[in-house]
Amino acid sequence: MTDVIDPDGFRANVGIVLMHEGGRVFLGRRTGGGGWQFPQGGIRRGESAEAALFRELREEIGLEAADVEIRGRTHRWLRYRLPQRYVRHGRRPLCIGQKQRWFLLEYRGAEARFRFDATGEQPEFDRWRWADYWEPVREVIYFKREVYSRALHELGQTAFPRGLPPYPSWWGTARRHGAARIGTSSSQA
The pLDDT of residue 91? 84
User: Could you tell me the domains of the chain?
Assistant: 10-133 (3.90.79.10)
- Residue 73 pLDDT exceeds 90: yes
Rounded to whole angstroms, the Cα distance separating 3 from 6 reads: 10
At 149, is the secondary structure helix, strand, or coil? helix
Averaged pLDDT, 8-14:
96
Rounded to whole angstroms, the Cα distance separating 180 from 144 reads: 11
The pLDDT of residue 180? 43
pLDDT digits (tens, 9 = 90+) for 115-158: 887 766 788 899 999 999 999 999 999 999 999 999 999 999 99
At 9, is the secondary structure helix, strand, or coil? coil
% of residues, the chain, pLDDT over 70 = 88
SS (H, E, C) 10-23: EEEEEEEEEECHHH
Q: Please report how many Cα atoms fall inside a 13 Å half-sphere around the Cα of residue 93, on the Cβ side.
A: 14
Rounded to whole angstroms, the Cα distance separating 19 from 128 reads: 13
pTM above 0.95, yes or no: no
Q: How many CB atoms lie within 10 A of CB 102?
A: 26
pLDDT digits (tens, 9 = 90+) for 75-116: 999 999 999 998 988 888 899 999 999 999 999 877 767 888
